[in-house]
Amino acid sequence: MSVTSKLLAVFRVDQQIQGLQSRLEGAERFLAEQTRQLAALGTQKDSIETQLRQLRASESNAEGESKRIGVHVDELREKMNNAATNKEYKALLSEVNNLKEVRSNHETEAIEFLEQIEELNTKLEAIDVDVAEREKVRKVAEEQRQQRSDEIAEKLAELKAERERLVTEVPKDAMAIYEELHATRGEEAMAPLEIEDRKRHEYVCGSSMMTVPVEVAASLMQGKLTLSPNDGCILYLTPEVEEELAGAFKK
């Protein structure tokens, strides 16, 4: 069994492992997205609650100031009723009118604050509904993530054990080349040699789909570890291509 064939066996197992892990990763991404959205809703809720506290304090201050001025106006009116002179009466009346305007401004402010509070309360209720719905979705996402993990656990353990066994059969230098390529290229670490035209000895790399010289095909037929001159992936022969090449090279 050639070095390339041994590496191909490892590559096939790696593909299965990646396929299983991608199912779990998809569930984990979905769960992470639900968690992120819940966190964003929580941030919105905190912001609204902070605004509500500030508005309620402002509304309370405006209402309190309005009541204080109202009490003072009543006191001034009492004095007006007991004014000794017309001049004193007019002075008190002027002060009352000024205070009434100030009180009106505070009352307007209080109403505006109440309107803003009502608007924010409506938003807060909507967020609470969104949070409740998102919590349900996240719970489902957590269950799916656990289900995926349970589904692949046994098979994944088998494949990893199989990979460890296969790796021991591959020369360390060849394995190092493969590991580096697999880390950088993933599923494109290895690719088949494809025959473009057997009679003319035209071949292409199954990864880059670019032409490779006939020496590459010859090297593969000799069982040598062969890298694509185009993109550096490890090339291998499928049984069908190997059979065709065997006939071509005999001739």
pLDDT in tens, 74-122: 999 999 998 889 999 999 999 999 999 999 999 999 999 999 999 999 9
Identify whether residues 142 and 37 lie together within a single domain. yes
From residue 209, give the alpha-carbon distance in Å to each of 77, 196, 226, 246: 98, 10, 16, 22
* Tokens matching residue 56: 């309620």
pLDDT digits (tens, 9 = 90+) for 198-243: 788 899 999 999 999 999 999 999 989 999 999 999 999 999 999 8
Identify whether residues 126 and 208 lie together within a single domain. no
Identify whether residues 135 and 111 lie together within a single domain. yes
Domain around 245: 173-250
Cβ proximity of 177 and 225 under 8 Å: yes
Identify whether residues 159 and 237 lie together within a single domain. no
Q: What is the pLDDT of residue 197?
A: 86
H-helix segments, the chain: 3-81, 86-167, 172-185, 214-221, 239-250
Cβ proximity of 166 and 13 under 8 Å: yes
Q: What is the pTM of this model?
A: 0.64
Last residue of a domain, one of 111, 135, 167: 167
Identify whether residues 81 and 205 lie together within a single domain. no
Identify whether residues 198 and 161 lie together within a single domain. no
Strand order in the sheet with 190-197: 211-212, 202-205, 190-197, 234-236
What's 168's DSSP letter? T
Last residue of a domain, one of 148, 167, 186: 167
Last residue of a domain, one of 120, 150, 167: 167
Cβ proximity of 15 and 187 under 8 Å: yes
